């Protein structure tokens, strides 16, 4: 099936709603990556305003039940982050591929790779792109073999939304490295990424499209305000970004061109689809370095970075959602004829 702007689709919505998991007893930190009702309502409103029929499916387990019951949709708009494991963002797209149902955003391989920050950085390095030197700590004894230049920065290898990042994440001594790494290993039950600290300005770059058609939507500088609970973009700072963060437009010039070229090259080299967001930070020489990539960017119209970038670029929220959908519908094809397709 293909759309030409006149065909209307029945679109299933797959998402992790914070309220659902809080009702099950999960903590605020555990559900930090999940979405609010206002995000789902805004997404649904943008799709229905464009003439599509929508059906709320819910989280991955609900998707499993409904697929097993025989329900199907023309396309699924999935923003589900998943709950368990470092491949959790790949769970919903993998299920949809199993049942040959088209969906938005990146495929399972990309979603799994980009959640593991160390794997992502290795691939980015292999593509010849600059990123801070790093090591992975899998057990406490590994800290003795870290041969990087201090200060360092430590965070869980496969978390988002700044989880595990706070005022202790900037590491100044080997003793700090041992203490902080041991605490993160216990708390998150996963390896710790340690990289040389990048002291320069931080930016987030929004990208739309797939493959050669991918393009930079815009860039914002992320500046943590004085008096914030951490000097870096931590979990608490992100959760209260309206209070602690300034998102600033960036003047066009050679440095911004370099930042955006790095972000777009990383997005393409990792084979992301439809839309994403790339975080970049400057090193001691003011050179842009890749930090990480989010292939499932937040879509709250006022709170999330990608919609804020779109607003700055003059792209209203409904048009942002329309652009993501238009990119995804380019992959629509007769059932059974999508196997093995690449961006």
How confident is the model over 265-315, as pLDDT tens digits? 999 999 999 999 999 999 999 999 999 999 999 999 998 999 999 999 999
The reported pLDDT for the residue numbered 226 is 93
Q: Hey, how many other C-beta atoms are within 10 angstroms of the C-beta on 131?
A: 25
Please, which pLDDT band fits residue 1 given cuts at 50, 70 and 90? very low
pLDDT band at 6 (very low <50, low <70, confident <90, very high): low
pLDDT digit string, tens, across residues 56-99:
999 999 999 999 999 999 999 999 999 889 999 999 999 999 99
Residue 233 is predicted with a pLDDT of: 87
- Own/partner pairs, 97-103, CB within 8 angstroms, 24+ separation: 99/67, 99/72, 100/335, 100/336, 100/338, 101/67, 101/72, 101/73, 101/75, 101/76, 102/74, 102/75, 102/76, 102/328, 102/329, 102/331, 102/332, 102/338, 103/14, 103/75, 103/76, 103/77, 103/78, 103/328
Q: Can you tell me which residue has the tokens 């797939």?
A: 210
The topology under which CATH files domain 133-196 is Dna Ligase; domain 1 (3.30.1490)
User: Is CATH 1.10.10.10 what the domain over 199-328 is classified as, yes or no?
Assistant: no
Q: Where in the chain is the domain with CATH 3.40.50.20?
A: 10-105
pLDDT grade for 21, boundaries at 50, 70 and 90: very high
Q: Categorize the per-residue pLDDT at 339 as very low, low, confident or very high, splitting at 50, 70 and 90.
A: very low
Per-residue confidence band for 333, with pLDDT thresholds at 50, 70 and 90? low
Quote the tokens at residue 334.
Answer: 């007769």
Listed in order, the ranges of the chain carrying CATH 3.30.470.20 are: 199-328
Which pLDDT score is estimated for 334? 56
Residue 343: pLDDT band (50, 70, 90) is low
Fold of 10-105: Rossmann fold (3.40.50)
């Amino acid at each position: 099936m293909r759309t030409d702007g006149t065909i209307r689709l029945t679109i299933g919505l797959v998402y992790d709603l914070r309220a659902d998991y809080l009702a099950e007893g999960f903590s605020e930190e555990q559900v930090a990556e999940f979405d609010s009702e206002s995000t789902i309502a805004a997404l649904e409103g943008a799709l229905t305003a464009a003439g599509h029929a929508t059906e709320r499916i819910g989280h991955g387990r609900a998707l499993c039940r409904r697929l097993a019951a025989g329900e199907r949709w023309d396309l699924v708009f999935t923003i589900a982050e998943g709950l368990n494991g470092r491949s959790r963002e790949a769970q919903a797209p993998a299920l949809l591929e199993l049942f040959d149902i088209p969906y938005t955003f990146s495929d399972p391989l990309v979603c799994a790779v980009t959640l593991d920050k160390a794997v992502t950085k290795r691939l980015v390095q292999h593509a010849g792109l600059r990123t801070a030197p790093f090591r992975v700590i899998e057990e406490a004894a590994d800290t003795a073999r870290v041969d990087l230049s201090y200060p360092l920065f430590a965070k869980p290898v496969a978390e988002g939304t700044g989880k595990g990042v706070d005022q202790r994440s900037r590491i100044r001594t080997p003793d700090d490295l041992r203490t902080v790494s041991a605490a993160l290993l216990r708390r998150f039950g996963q390896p710790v990424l340690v990289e040389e600290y990048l002291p320069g300005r931080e930016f987030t770059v929004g990208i739309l499209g797939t493959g050669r058609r991918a393009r930079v939507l815009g860039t914002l500088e992320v500046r943590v305000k004085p008096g914030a609970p951490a000097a870096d973009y931590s979990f608490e700072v992100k959760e209260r970004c309206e209070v602690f963060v300034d998102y600033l437009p960036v003047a066009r010039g050679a440095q911004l061109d370099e930042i955006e070229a790095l972000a777009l090259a990383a997005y393409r080299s990792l084979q992301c689809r439809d839309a994403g967001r790339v975080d970049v930070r400057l090193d001691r020489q003011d050179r842009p370095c890749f930090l990480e990539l989010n292939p499932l960017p937040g879509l709250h119209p006022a709170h999330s970075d990608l919609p804020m970038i779109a607003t700055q670029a003059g792209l209203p929220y409904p048009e942002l959602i329309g652009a993501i959908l238009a990119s995804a519908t380019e992959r629509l094809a007769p059932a059974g004829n999508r196997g093995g397709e690449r961006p």
